[in-house]
Homo-oligomer: A and B are copies of this chain.
Amino acid sequence: MPGRVRKQSSPTMTDVAKHAGVAPMTVSRALQDDPRVLPATRAKVLASVEALGYRLNEVARSLRAGQSSDLLGLVVTNLANPFYSQLALGVDSLAAEHGMKLVLGNTGEDPGREKELVDDLVSRRVSGIIVVPAGSDHAHLRPAVLDGTPVVLAARPPSGADLDCVLVDDFGGSLAATSLLTAAGHRRIGFLGPSPNLWTSAERFRGFSTALAESGLAVDERHVRFGLRDISAAERAAAELLQLPDPPTALFTANNRNTIGAIRAITGTRPGTALAGFDDFELADMLGVSLTVVAYDPAEVGVQAARLLIDRISHPDDDTPPQRTVVPTTLTHYGQPLQPAPSQT
C-alpha cells in the first residue's frame, strides 16, 4: 500500500543515521553543513533524509541549546484595530530579517490575560517579548520577574517598571495640530477623546492643552469630553458641544473613532466647524470635509520596538538603561483649507 500516510511519530536523526549507515552525530553535522563531513558522506545522509522525509526537530534543538528559541513574543491589546496589525507587520518584518518568528497573543485590554500570555511566552522560552501593555502597573513585566527575558513596550510607556519602550509622539502631534487651529484664530476649541486613563489619550490632551496655553487660552471644561470609545459616542458628544449656547468653533479629536464621530456631528449640526484629529484614516479625503489629521506610521512603531528588542537579545550583558524611542508624526490636511475662526467682537 504505497502512499499511505504515516501517522506514526516522525523519523528522528537516529532513523536517518541507521538508514544511511552512519552515526547520528554525522547526520547532525551533515545537516549543519559542517565542513568536516566528507561530501560523499553528506550526500548519503541527505539522500536518507530525503528518503525518510526527515525534518529536524526544533523543539529538541532548542531544548539542547538551553537558551532562546528564535521566537519573539508579541502581545497586543486588539488585533482588530489596524494600528496593531500594522504594528505586528512591522515587528514581523524585522523578526523575519533575523530568522525569527512571532508568537502572537491578544489581550483585549485585559491585564489578567496579559499576564497569562506573557508568562506563557516566558515558559516557552521566547527570546524576547514586545507588549502593548493593558494595565497601568507593569511591575509584572520586569525582566527580573521574567527570568531575564527582555521586554519592550510599544505604544504606551512603562509605569511601575523601568523598561524599553517605543512611543508615538502623541504630545507633539496633538500640540502641532491644535496649534494650527489656534493659529487660524480659533479661541473656543473643543476636545473629544477616549478615557484619560489611556496614556495616549492623556498625552494627546496634554498636547491640546499646551497649544491652548501657548496662545494664552485656557481649557474650557465644558468643551472637553473624555471616555468616548466609539464613533456614536463621539458623535453624540460632539453634537452636544456644538449645541451649547456658545459652542466651540473648532474641535480636536484624540483618535480616528472620535474624528469620524465629530465629522458626523459637524455635518449634521454646524458645518462651519473646523476639525483636527489624531490618526490618519483611509477615505479621509473622500468625506468632503475640511480636516487636518496627525499621521504616523504604525508599522514603524513595530519595527523600532523589534529593533530595540533584538538589540537587547543580542547583548544580554549590555547594561545601558532603558531606552525610549519616539516615532514622529506629521500633519496632513484634507479638503478645503482650514476654516478660519469667525470674527468676533
Contact = CB atoms under 8 A, between A and B. Distances in A.
A168 interface: no
Most chain-B CB neighbours within 10 Å: which of A3, A55, A59, A148? A59
A131 to B, nearest CB: 15
Given A147-B55, A260-B283, A103 B106 contact: no
A122 interface: yes
Contacts of A57: 63, 123, 125
B58 A124 contact: yes
A219 interface: no
A59 B147 contact: no
Interface in A288-334: 288, 299, 316-317
Contact of A63 (B60, B102, B143, B287): B60
Interface in A166-199: none
Nearest to A73: B101
Interface in A1-43: 3, 5-7, 9-10
Interface stretch (A77-85, A236-244, A246-254, A271-279): A77-85
Interface in A68-108: 69, 71, 74, 79-80, 82, 84-86, 88-89, 92-93, 96, 101-106
Interface of A: 3, 5-7, 9-10, 53, 55-60, 62-63, 66, 69, 71, 74, 79-80, 82, 84-86, 88-89, 92-93, 96, 101-106, 117, 119-125, 143-145, 147-148, 260, 263-264, 281-283, 286-288, 299, 316-317
Contacts of A9: 66
A299 B78 CA distance: 13
A263 B287 CA distance: 12
B80 A85 contact: yes
How often does this chain occur in the complex, in copies? 2
B59 A124 contact: yes
A92 B66 contact: no
Contact of A7 (B92, B148, B263): B148
A102 B104 contact: yes
A57 B64 CA distance: 12
A196 B299 CA distance: 30
Contact of A6 (B63, B92, B144, B282): B144
Nearest to A102: B104
A210 to B, nearest CB: 31
A60 B69 CA distance: 12
Contact of A79 (B88, B117, B147, B316): B88
Contact of A80 (B5, B86, B145, B317): B86
19 contacts: A3-B144, A5-B148, A7-B148, A9-B66, A10-B147, A10-B148, A55-B123, A58-B125, A59-B59, A74-B104, A80-B86, A84-B85, A92-B105, A96-B106, A101-B104, A103-B103, A104-B104, A264-B286, A283-B283
Contacts of A117: 101
A107 to B, nearest CB: 10
Contacts of A74: 104
B71 A103 contact: yes
